[in-house]
Amino acid sequence: MKAARTSILLGSLSAALVALALTSPRVVAADKVDPVADAKAFQNFFFQKFPTVKHEDFVNGPYSMNEDMKRQWQEKEEFPPYEFALDAGKEMFVTPFKNGKTYADCFPNGGIGIRQNYPYFDEKEGKVVTLELALNRCREANGEAPYSYVKDEMASLTAYMAFTSRGKPMDIKIPDDPRALAAFENGKRYFYTRRGQMNFSCASCHVQSPGERIRAEILAPALGILNAMPIYRSEWSGMGTTSRRFVTCNSQTRAVPLEPQADEYRDVEYFLSYVANGLPISGPGARP
Amino acid sequence: MNRSLAVTMFLALLLALGLAPAARAANEADYKTAYSAAEAAAKEAASLRHQWTVTVSTLAAAKKAADGGDFDRAVAAAREAEALAKASIFQAISEKEAWKAMEIR
CATH number at residue A90: 1.10.760.10
Is A17 part of any domain?
A: no
What is the DSSP track for B31-98? HHHHHHHHHHHHHHHHHTT--BHHHHHHHHHHHHHHHTT-HHHHHHHHHHHHHHHHHHHHHHHHHHHH
Which amino acid is located at A192 in the chain? Y
Is B57 part of any domain?
A: yes
Phi, psi torsion values for A233, nearest 5 degrees: -130, 130
The residue segments making up the domain with residue A279 are 35-287
B53/A196 CB distance under 8 A? yes
Is B76 part of any domain?
A: yes
Residue-wise pLDDT tens for chain B (105 aa)?
444 444 444 544 554 455 555 568 999 999 999 999 999 999 999 999 999 999 999 999 999 999 999 999 999 999 999 999 999 999 999 999 999 999 999
B 22-51 → A contacts, CB under 8 A: 46, 49-51
Is B1 part of any domain?
A: no
The residue segments making up the domain with residue B64 are 25-99
B91/A10 CB distance under 8 A? no
Is B19 part of any domain?
A: no
Is B38 part of any domain?
A: yes
Give the pLDDT mean for A105-119: 98
pLDDT tens-digit map of A233-253: 988 889 999 999 999 999 999
Give the pLDDT mean for A109-133: 98
Is B12 part of any domain?
A: no
Is B13 part of any domain?
A: no
Total domain count, chain A: 1
pLDDT tens-digit map of A181-237: 999 999 999 999 999 999 999 999 999 999 999 888 899 999 999 999 999 998 888
State the best of B2, B47, B103 to mutate against chain A, taking most chain A CBs within 10 Å. B103
pLDDT of residue A18: 43
Is A9 part of any domain?
A: no
Is B83 part of any domain?
A: yes
Nearest CB partner across the interface for B56, out of A203, A207, A256: A256
pTM of the model: 0.89
ipTM: 0.86
Total domain count, chain B: 1
Phi, psi torsion values for A218, nearest 5 degrees: -100, 130
Distance CA B39, CA B56 (A): 9
pLDDT tens-digit map of A74-83: 887 778 899 9
